[in-house]
Structures are given as C-alpha cells and as structure tokens.
Structure 1
Amino acid sequence: MAIAGELIDRFLGDLNRLRLDHGVLGLAVSGGADSMAMLLLAAEALDTERLAVATVDHGLRPEAAQECALVADACRKLSIDCDILRVTVAEGNTQEQARIARYAALGEWARERGIGAIATAHHADDQAETLLMRLNRGSGLGGLAGIRSRTRIDGVNADILRPLLGFRRDELRAIVEANDFDFVDDPSNLDDRYDRVRMRKALAEADWLDAAALARSAKHLEEAERTLQSLADMSWEGSAEVSGSQIRVSYSNLLDTNARLVRRAMTTLGATITLGEVIDFLKAGRECANIAGILVERRDDSYYCSKEPPRRGD
C-alpha cells in the first residue's frame, strides 16, 4: 500500500504506548475516512491475523447496511476478519443512545472473541473540538482532559484505545484516498443541530486556533488527570476503611485528592455524583451534609461517608 513509513511508525509507536494486551487487537471501523485510515495503518503495521474488525449497523439510515458491507469488503481485500454488529438504538438523544448501543455491542463482541483491546479512530481534530466544547461548558480537569487515549467504558470488558489522537483529519483522509479505498461521509457530520458540528465549523473558521496544539494541551491535561487519580488511588489503598455501610477516608492537604476519595466512597455506597459536585461541597467548608443520599461528615483528620437510614414509613 502507498503509506509513508513515517506514518506507519507513528501509528505503531502510539499504539504500543497504549496497549497492555498484545493479543488480538479489535478495530471499530465505521466506514468513514478516519476509521478506514486506521484499518489501513493497522494492516500495514501489524500481522493481519492478529486483527479483528467490527462495524456497527445502528439501523438509523437506509445506507447503513451498504456502509457495513463496504467495510466488510475492505477487510476481505486486506485478509482481516470482520463482523457486522446490528443494534437497536433506544429513543432519546439519538447520538448518545447510538453511542451506548454501539459500545454495548462492541463489548459483547470483544468478550465473545476474547479481545482485550479495541481501537477507535478519534483523532487530533476530534480532540480539539472536545476540548473547546468542554471549556465552553466550564468543565473541570477531568473534562478538559478530553478524549482519553486509553480508557474503560461501563459494560465493555476491554480497553478502549485511541491511537490516532496524534493524527490530523486531513492526513487520515489522504491515506485512504492515496490507496483508492472507498469510504463514506456520514451526513450527521454536517448537521448543525449537533454541538460538535457547530464547534467543528467554528474551529475551521478560526484560523488563529491550532487544532494540533489544542490536542497536545488535552494530552497534557490527561497526564495531569492520571497523576491526580493515581495519588488518590494510593491514598485510598493505604487509608480507606470500609465498615458495613460506612467508609472512612483520610484527610489530605490537596482539595482534589479529598474530593476524589470522598466521591469514591460515595459511589461505593451507591451514590451517583460528579467530582465537581463533591469539590463544591468541600469548598463550602460544611462539617456535615447529606449529598445524593449519603451522609458526609468531616471529623478531625478524616471524612466519614455513610448511607442515610431510611425514613420512617419508607
């Protein structure tokens, strides 16, 4: 194939920094230019017998079946196994529900195939758009870390890898075009009803904004987020005490660490709460409060989190 060695080396280097499992690598390929480029890069960089592709038919557009067939045909040319996963998308926010259904199907596929890692085709321009969208919403560090290069998603017992976060949209498209592989343009990528589409257009018009630099900033923020989470995890392992429906965590001089410890205790007890909400509570300086059904108390050098007893008559 006509792919520069420098591009293959970049892809393989980024992928190997993310992989913990070096068994069969799953590729989530939609048929768009980005994921088709990932497919071609992987086929050049790795043994195709150690690759497996899944493409998801959400059943939302008449063209979806043809797009899945396009992916399957490309995989046949490359001698890579391909499975077409058909899902039913629940009512509600279409993009979010499609995402939930897609990852659920990919998780089940990975479990059945014994795949420990799935690569998706998110790239630097996606990262820049995500960072700007979250800045606009006032997100904290966790949100500003953007699209994680390696993460876990609820219900998916496999690492989700993003080896293309160092690549630009245009260079991925060029890879596919140079190799005469067909790809599809999802019409939803032009639909101004979606926040991401509007941000993409705004970013394209702001020539003073460098998408690659924004993506690098998101990477630095991700590294900071991982460091803070590691500190909190070490503190939890060393000091958390679980006693029935109560959990004690040690007080730290770092607000962020305290918030992560308290949030972990609360979610362990069944609460649903964001890190930002816990930070707001701690900043208020209250010694005791009920938050999301959990009683949180500050006593001396510790926080105590316990389930609120049911009210009489409940």
Structure 2
Amino acid sequence: MEFKNSSLNKFEYELMEKLILIDKNNYNEEGKILFNLQISGGLDSMCLLNAFAKILNFKLFKPKNQFIFIAQHFNHKKRGVESDEDAAFVIKNCLNLGIPIYQELYVNKFNEKENFQDFARNWRKKCATELCLQLRKDLNCKKYFIVTAHHARDHVETVLMHLIRGCSLNGLLGIQEFDNQKIFYRPFFNMEYEKIVKYGNQENIKYRQDSSNLTDDYDRNYIRNQILPHFKRIKDSYEKSFCTMSNHVSEYLQNFPNKIDLSKSGNSILTDKMSYSEVYDLLLLKNKEIFKILTKNVIQNILHEMELMKKSNFSQKEIMLAQGWIVHLVKGNNNIEIDVYQKKTIK
C-alpha cells in the first residue's frame, strides 16, 4: 500500500516509539510478534488501523523482531443492515491497507436477561484470544498482543462506572496500557479523545458511526453523553486529570504491600467484635496481596457469613471473592479461624 505521505506525523511517530519499546522489551532472539488490531469501524479504531499501517510501511521502521499485523472485526448482528455495512466497510479498508482481516459473526440469539455489553465484551475477548492462539501456532509467533483503541475518555468512563458500583482502589486504575497478563495492549490509553479526532481529520480518515452510541440505553453511553460534557465545562483537560489520578493510585498500590507491618501478631481468630479495619488488617496479615480486591462490602460479607456459620452445623466454609481469591473459615470450640488464598487460574 502506497501512502500519499511516506513520512510519519507526530501522532504516528509517538505510536512507533511505543512499538519500538515493545520490540526492545521482547527481544532475546529474533522472532515473530503478532498484533491483532480490534477494528470496529469507529473513528478511534480506524485511526489505530491507519497509524499502524503507515508505521508498518515506514522505511525507517526496522524492529529486531518480525512484526505481523492483522485486524479482527466483530459483527454482533445487533443492528441489522447497519452491522453488516460496518463489517463491509472495515473489510474494504483493511484490504486497501494490506492488513489481513478476520471477521467474527455472532449467529445465536442474545439472552435478554443478560447485560448485552458485558456479554459482547466477553465474546470478543474469547474470539480474539482463540484467533491469536491459533495464529501463534500456525505462524510460529513467540508473542501476541490484542490491540484496542481505548483512549483517555474511555478511561474516565470506566473509572466513573467503577466508582458508581462501589470499587476498591484497584477500580480507580481504570484502563491501563497493558492488562496484567501483558496480552491486551491499549496504545491510546492516556491519549485525549480530541487528539484522536484531530488526527482523523488530518488524515481524512473515513469511519462509521454506531447509532447505538447516540442513545443513553447503556450506562457507559449515559455517562459519555450526559455527564462528561459537564466535566469538560468545569475543566477542559479533565481526561488528563483522571489519568494523573490513576497513575497516583497505581504507584500507591505498587508500594502499599511493602508498608504492611508484618510484626503484628499472627492471630487468625475472627470475632464478631472486630471492626472493619481490624478484619482488613487480619486479611492483609494472612496474604498482603488480597488488598487489591478488599472493599467494605467484601468485609461485610465475610462477617455476615461468620454469623451464619455460628448458627449452623458446618465446621468449614469457603467464601469466593473476585480474581480467584478464597476466604476459608474453620469453626473451633468458641471461635472461627480464617485463612485466605488465591486460586491459580489456567491460561
């Protein structure tokens, strides 16, 4: 694919620097790295597609590893003809840019009782991971990344949704550049949305408008359409402020386990006279990594289960928490002992 302008602009150059860093961090010997670009057809993902394609064709971009770019589009068949037109648009643009495109079709009926957005997100993650695992085997790639165009405004929406639902400090991290497994990669994670809009205008990038985003039917849409304009009215650079806050939270969480006083008594006895802070400290003493998912609701649930256990004939009980954490209660003669551990997940 020949581009009118063979050089990179600032937007593309900054993205190339991120790719060079990935190349450096994943180089021990030459190999192939697969980048699966998640392309919906919207402005942000089409900007991602255009920038990656230009970088791939830039003559001065010479990574030590062999970079393989593909694209993947998900047709949920939720908006009838409009969904099919989105798919055709993405396929046409990918072929014009020389990027192999894979389309996923959802052919079953959605369960109306389920949250559609959560269901669709999990379906996309599952399909993207399965495709990468298959291509890693077929193409003999040593590493793969699933690349999305999430940006700073998406980050703000995510943090607000976590806050509304009642989250731990971990929920304030919002959208980070990489997930914990270093598989999902979001190069625009701290980029203001207006910067993406500006790039799209400069490059004259065509895109599709998802009509469902214009309604307030989903919580995220309501936040975007009704709440964020007020934030922008108060402070034009509110997206940067949220990113800065999340950076501070990230630094605190990274250092927090080291601040725990492990010289405290190793007592494992849980009593109904304990305050929330005492239960919190006790859980941290058992395993300091659990702080990432501890909230007032979690501790309240543990105390509630303890009360139920006292009145039952059960001598042991396991309480399942987020991220594979398990609280194990054992009833003795006049007390209840507590232990915590994290169940290892198979990837």
Q: 2:199 aligns to what?
A: 175
Using the TM superposition, give the Cα deviation of residue 257 of structure 1 relative to its aligned residue in structure 2, in angstroms. 4.3
Q: TM-score, normalized by length of structure 2? A: 0.66
Percent identity over the alignment is 23
Q: 2:15 aligns to what?
A: 11
Instruction: Name which of 65, 71, 85 aligns with 1:53.
Output: 71
In structure 2, the CA distance between the partners of 1:215 and 1:17, relative to structure 1 (3 Å rule), is farther
Matches of 1:41 and 1:256, distance apart in 2:
47
Q: Which amino acid aligns with 2:145?
A: A
Q: TM-score, normalized by length of structure 1? A: 0.72
Larger Rg: 2
Question: C-alpha deviations, 1:61-115, integer Å up to 9, x for none?
Answer: 1211221121111111211111111124631211111111111111111111116
Q: 1:24 aligns to what?
A: 34
| Pair 1:129 & 2:129 matched | no
Could you say what secondary structure the match of 1:218 adopts? helix
In structure 2, the CA distance between the partners of 1:257 and 1:163, relative to structure 1 (3 Å rule), is farther
Alignment of 1:77-156 (within 5 A): 77-87=96-106, 88=108, 90-91=110-111, 92-114=114-136, 116-151=144-179
Using the TM superposition, give the Cα deviation of residue 126 of structure 1 relative to its aligned residue in structure 2, in angstroms. 0.7
Matches of 1:7 and 1:76, distance apart in 2:
23
Computed over aligned residues only, the root mean square deviation of the Cα atoms, in angstroms, reads 3.8
Instruction: Name which of 228, 235, 246 aligns with 1:203.
Output: 228
Instruction: Name which of 208, 213, 224 aligns with 1:189.
Output: 213
Q: Which amino acid aligns with 2:75?
A: D
Using the TM superposition, give the Cα deviation of residue 228 of structure 1 relative to its aligned residue in structure 2, in angstroms. 5.0
Q: Which amino acid aligns with 1:170?
A: E
Question: C-alpha deviations, 1:143-200, integer Å up to 9, x for none?
Answer: 11111321158xxxx7001110122222213323332332111122122121112211
Aligned residues: 271
Matches of 2:49 and 2:283, distance apart in 1:
39
Contact 2:39 2:73 in 1 (8 A): yes
Matches of 2:88 and 2:287, distance apart in 1:
45
Could you say what secondary structure the match of 2:110 adopts? coil
- Stretches of structure 1 lacking an aligned partner (at least 5 in a row): 236-252, 265-272, 307-314
Q: 1:295 aligns to what?
A: 328
Instruction: Name which of 92, 100, 116 aligns with 1:73.
Output: 92
In structure 2, the CA distance between the partners of 1:255 and 1:173, relative to structure 1 (3 Å rule), is farther
Q: Which amino acid aligns with 1:8?
A: E
